[in-house]
Amino acid sequence: MKTLRFILGDQLSQKVSALRGADPATDIVLIVEVQAEAVSVRHHKKKIAFILASMRAFAETLRGQGFTVDYVKMDDPANTGSFDGELDRAITRHQPNALCLTRASEWRVLEMQRHWAETLDLQVLLLEDDRFLCDEAQFRAWAAGRKSFVMEHFYRNMRRRTGLLMEGDQPAGGRWNFDHDNRKPAKPDLFMQLPHRCPPSVQTQEVIELVSTRFAGHFGDLEPFWFATSAREAEIARDHFLANNLPRFGETQDAMLEGQLFLNHAVMSLYLNVGLLEPLDLCRRAELEWQAGRAPLAAVEGFIRQIIGWREYVRGIYWLHAPDYKGFNHLEAKRPLPALYWTGQTKMACMQAAIGQTKREAYAHHIQRLMVTGNFALLAGLDPHEVHEWYLSVYADAFEWVEVPNTIGMALYADGGIMASKPYAASGAYIHKMSDYCERCAYDPSVKSGPRACPFNPLYWDFIGRNEGKLGSNPRMGPVYATWRKMGQSRREEIGADSQRILEALDNGQL
């Protein structure tokens, strides 16, 4: 039986279910580059190049193993530019008996796959994506009957299921979570190894040229391009991280330093999310570093929690609430996304740094995303859908299943508390404590009002005041609202006037 095995750009793994049992003698692997996916939002140029180059490298690997790969390049004159069109053409070319698919990671594409299953005149196998450790049914079973979906409870469940960092039925070291040891600010003189940089292959160079002409108007710098684009390269980058950065990953994971874009972060999420690395294998290797005495438990536990905890949890939340989740706007925020999110042109040093490095590298770490650009969007009342499209566009690791819960839920509280028990709102004091950005800023984190005040300070209290109806009875916000309610009328008016001035400056490109 001839089976057409259609692999998507984030399914670049030899173990993906659509390739299981494939017969190189009869089956055809279909991989297509389509314009419609690259422009579904205006993705960062480096992100498009990373995915296309990884797809081409994966096709080469499969060919080397004897598979027949039907690979359609984006600049093929016959390319229709859509999944529907390319699947139709491939079926006409190959006349397969069956079509084999792995479930797409995004609702919109899964709907396409379901439509194919209903309408095509051939057998369609739509298989679970078992590269994830918790499938949709398992997450639904965990979530059933719960009033709140606390990540920590899910994470402990995943530790027990995987056996990672477990001693019998107890957590290694006697604690499930070592976050308390993992929230230190960093010093600029700390020596930190940069992530492994892979020189672009000839094939990657061709993709870079394609992207530079075809997507010239998209956000972001294409070069220097240094991401791994094959499983082999990603494994080298992984081993470099495990040997050089994992031991200190934990203690500085929430810190932010001007000029130190990566600190000790792994920069592995983009490789995990397209399939170049496997999550459980990566966690087991990190666990081995602890068992061999080369990395402390706090660092390894923090790293593993990001993967079997947060990563699996946000995927579960996405599918539990898709497709509605990205339309949530609990706080009714309406302000359009300001231009500075694209230009990085602002006197706010923290925003300038986070957006500037996003433009250069298609990367910022989780605290820059959550507590700088996300926190500002929350406080300024930016439209969640516009903020969601920005995050989805600009980060190389951003796919809807992981980006939407992180933006709509974690950063913007637009889901009304499904993911977070209270908004991640903070004044300038948090950024001042965790970074060195404020040292060169035009604003002062210790000033609460007037033109020198850090914009996060008045905006924080303005956010608290204008959302009292929705947040005022949240027990976790009790101390904040107690302070707000004791605040005199003149101080409240001062906050209102400062916030209005800041938001006008934001709209005029003067902030």
Rule CB under 6 A: which residues touch ligand SF4?
348-350, 428, 431-432, 437-438, 441, 443-445, 454-456
Distance (Å, whole) CA 508 – CA 92: 54
**Least Cβ distance, residue 355 to ligand SF4 (angstroms):** 12
Kindly tell me which of 249 and 437 has the beta carbon lying closer to ligand SF4.
437
Kindly tell me which of 241 and 376 has the beta carbon lying closer to ligand SF4.
376
Structure tokens at 335: 């302000």
Q: How many CA atoms lie within 13 A of 149 on its CB side?
A: 26
Closest residue by Cα to residue 222 from 210, 234, 237, 239: 210
Distance (Å, whole) CA 100 – CA 126: 6
Kindly tell me which of 347 and 385 has the beta carbon lying closer to ligand SF4.
347
Distance (Å, whole) CA 17 – CA 28: 15
Torsion angle, CA of 277/279/280/285, rounded to 10 degrees?
Answer: 60
Kindly tell me which of 282 and 353 has the beta carbon lying closer to ligand SF4.
353
Kindly tell me which of 439 and 468 has the beta carbon lying closer to ligand SF4.
439
**Least Cβ distance, residue 257 to ligand SF4 (angstroms):** 12
**Least Cβ distance, residue 350 to ligand SF4 (angstroms):** 3
5, β-bridge pairs: 29, 100
**Least Cβ distance, residue 421 to ligand SF4 (angstroms):** 24
Residue 169: helix, strand or coil by DSSP? coil
Kindly tell me which of 17 and 346 has the beta carbon lying closer to ligand SF4.
346
Distance (Å, whole) CA 507 – CA 181: 40
Kindly tell me which of 423 and 428 has the beta carbon lying closer to ligand SF4.
428
Closest residue by Cα to residue 418 from 427, 430, 429, 405: 405
**Least Cβ distance, residue 370 to ligand SF4 (angstroms):** 14
Kindly tell me which of 149 and 456 has the beta carbon lying closer to ligand SF4.
456
Strands 98-102 and 68-72: unpaired
**Least Cβ distance, residue 356 to ligand SF4 (angstroms):** 13
Exposed / middle / buried, residue 292 (Cβ in 10 Å: 0-12, 13-18, 19+): exposed
Task: Give, for 171, the enclosing helix (H) or strand (E).
Answer: strand 170-171
**Least Cβ distance, residue 428 to ligand SF4 (angstroms):** 4
Closest residue by Cα to residue 55 from 77, 80, 42, 38: 38
Exposed / middle / buried, residue 303 (Cβ in 10 Å: 0-12, 13-18, 19+): buried
**Least Cβ distance, residue 256 to ligand SF4 (angstroms):** 10
Classify residue 475 by its DSSP letter.
G
| C-beta separation of 9 from 37 below 8 A | yes
**Least Cβ distance, residue 183 to ligand SF4 (angstroms):** 17
Kindly tell me which of 395 and 430 has the beta carbon lying closer to ligand SF4.
430
Kindly tell me which of 282 and 431 has the beta carbon lying closer to ligand SF4.
431
Three-class SS of 55-98:
HHHHHHHHHHCCCEEEEECCCCCCCCCCHHHHHHHHHHHHCCCE
**Least Cβ distance, residue 367 to ligand SF4 (angstroms):** 13
Structure tokens at 424: 């991640």
Kindly tell me which of 268 and 431 has the beta carbon lying closer to ligand SF4.
431
| C-beta separation of 357 from 259 below 8 A | no
**Least Cβ distance, residue 212 to ligand SF4 (angstroms):** 33
